[in-house]
């Protein structure tokens, strides 16, 4: 087939201005755009023909050569400018010039179309999300959990073809009208999710992507020090990538069971210890629950309510392995709420006793100071 004159292709005369060339190509590109003419081979040829003409005529040097020598001047061996050698990606990359500089380089033109006709990519499987409930002991020391998941796997016996929606490129392009003019967007092919492949044959129990859901037991190592709401990313343990892609990740969300008596704040643990009035005055020993086991602590004679004892290193480890929190024991001196006659008599005797009169000294830390130290 004889090659048409580039000016004829764009409906222009030889002396057409740069602006005319742009305008003409723009109209042709919109008219014959593949998205507007799905499955229309003639439109596609016209689209490519116009793109080729524009490629030459929009370039001053190429245009000059073409004006002088015609098609013979355009390629090696007099065969013309390699008819139809422009692929769709080349064509779409032109749109950056055509559809206005308003879009600049960002997002339009150069952006999404790089890589050209490599044809599809390895599709990553979707991430799989699970929740894991842990008690404080598991959090303090780390643990291994075996979790049953239903995940997508590639079914056996699936064979592949080139995707007809995107012709193997994995991308579909669309020109949309916006208030700024026409804008071309490129997105992942909805049919093949970017793989550029379609299913040729598949077993009955596989879905349209050749996958099926299968029960699997996954072993997850949970490091010490994780916290409620934290998400661990187990790479490659999610859903299989369709069309021979790479698997997604398993996202493990941590749920922390509340401990009966230890409260957590970051890596520190808090415990409220209640001591009776006599123990606080005379001194005593008390038992403190730890994450694992117990600790004995000594209360000095004259321990005040509100005193905080710090058990260093008895909190939780940092998840990154650096350092361990403390266990802070808040002393509450218990004031009896019911008294029998004998108890009342004893306390009446003590009520006026000089040593029973509050006399906080500078040594006793104020509430403000204690809080400051706790968080400081």
Summarize as ranges the residues that interact with Zn ion (CB under 5 A). Answer: 163, 165-166, 189, 191-192
Count other C-beta atoms under 10 Å from residue 338's C-beta.
Answer: 5
In whole angstroms, the minimum distance from the beta carbon of 167 to Zn ion comes to 8
Would the CA dihedral through 41, 46, 50, 53 be positive or negative?
positive
CB of 172 to Zn ion, least distance (A): 7
DSSP string, 252-265: EEEEEPPPSS-EEE
CA-to-CA distance for 62 and 78, rounded, in angstroms? 15
Residue 103's nearest CA partner among 177, 156, 199, 180 is 180
Q: Judged by CB, which is closer to Zn ion: 39, or 106?
A: 39
d(CA 93, CA 370): 67
CB of 124 to Zn ion, least distance (A): 15
- Give the pair of three-digit tokens for residue 18: 């740069």
Looking at the Cβ atoms of 161 and 255, the one nearer to Zn ion is 161
Taking the C-alpha atoms of residue 23 and residue 93, their distance in angstroms, rounded to an integer, is: 17
Question: Which one, 94 or 165, has the nearer CB to Zn ion?
Answer: 165
User: Strands 327-334 and 268-276, how do they pair?
Assistant: parallel
Cβ atoms of 110 and 93 closer than 8 Å: yes
The nearer residue to Zn ion, 209 or 237, going by C-beta atoms, is 209
Cβ nearer to Zn ion, comparing 165 with 253: 165
**Residue (164 or 221) nearer to Zn ion, CB:** 164
Minimum CB distance to Zn ion smaller for 192 or for 222 = 192
Q: Alpha-carbon distance 98 to 116, whole Å?
A: 19
Minimum CB separation from Zn ion for residue 241, in Å?
Answer: 15
Strand segments (E) across 114-267: 128-134, 143-154, 159-162, 171-178, 181-188, 197-201, 211-222, 231-234, 250-256, 263-265
Considering beta carbons, is residue 117 or 366 the nearer one to Zn ion?
Answer: 117
Q: How far is the CB of 169 from Zn ion (least distance, A)?
A: 7
For the record, the structure tokens of 193 come out as 């999710």
Closer to Zn ion by Cβ: residue 125 or 317: 125
Q: 228 with 254: CB under 8 angstroms?
A: yes
Contact 138, 222 (CB under 8 A): yes
Radius of gyration over alpha carbons of the chain, in Å? 38
The rounded distance, in Å, linking the Cα atoms of 270 and 80 is 83
Nearer to Zn ion, 165 or 324 (CB): 165
Shortest spacing between CB 192 and Zn ion, in angstroms? 3
CB of residue 186 vs Zn ion: minimum separation in angstroms? 13
User: In sequence order, which residues have a C-beta less than 8 Å from that of residue 266 and are 6 or more positions away?
Assistant: 227, 325
Exposed / middle / buried, residue 101 (Cβ in 10 Å: 0-12, 13-18, 19+): exposed
């Amino acid at each position: 087939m004889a090659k048409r004159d580039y000016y004829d292709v764009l409906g222009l005369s030889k002396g057409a201005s740069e602006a005319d060339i742009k305008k003409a190509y723009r109209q042709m590109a919109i008219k014959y755009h593949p998205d507007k003419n799905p499955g229309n081979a003639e439109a596609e040829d016209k689209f490519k023909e116009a793109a080729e003409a524009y490629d030459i005529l929009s370039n001053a040097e190429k245009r000059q050569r073409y004006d002088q020598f015609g098609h013979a001047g355009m390629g090696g061996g007099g065969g013309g400018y390699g008819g139809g050698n422009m692929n769709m990606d080349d064509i779409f990359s032109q749109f950056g010039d055509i559809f206005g500089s308003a879009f600049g380089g960002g997002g339009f033109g150069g952006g999404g179309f790089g890589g050209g006709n490599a044809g599809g990519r390895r599709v990553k499987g979707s991430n799989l999300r699970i929740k894991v409930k842990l008690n404080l002991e598991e959090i303090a020391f780390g643990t291994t959990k075996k979790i049953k998941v239903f995940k997508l796997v590639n079914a056996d016996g699936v064979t592949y073809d080139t995707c007809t929606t995107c012709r193997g490129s994995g991308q579909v392009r669309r020109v949309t009208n916006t208030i700024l003019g026409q804008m071309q967007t490129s997105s992942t092919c909805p049919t093949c999710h970017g793989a550029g492949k379609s299913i040729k044959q598949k077993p009955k129990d596989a879905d349209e992507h050749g996958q099926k859901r299968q029960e699997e037991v996954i072993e997850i190592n949970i490091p010490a020090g994780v916290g409620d709401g934290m998400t661990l990313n187990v790479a490659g343990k999610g859903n299989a990538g369709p069309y021979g892609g790479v698997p997604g990740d398993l996202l493990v969300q941590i749920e922390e069971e509340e401990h009966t008596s230890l409260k957590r704040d970051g890596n520190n643990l808090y415990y409220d210890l209640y001591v009776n009035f006599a123990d606080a005055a005379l001194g005593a020993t008390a038992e403190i629950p730890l994450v694992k086991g117990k600790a004995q602590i000594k209360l000095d004679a004259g321990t005040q309510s509100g005193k905080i004892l710090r058990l260093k290193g008895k909190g939780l480890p940092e998840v990154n392995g650096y350092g361990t929190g403390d266990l802070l024991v808040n002393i509450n001196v218990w004031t009896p709420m019911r008294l029998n006659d004998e108890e009342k008599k004893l306390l009446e005797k003590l009520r006026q006793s000089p040593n029973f009169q509050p006399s906080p000294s500078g040594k006793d830390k104020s509430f403000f100071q204690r809080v400051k130290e706790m968080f400081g």
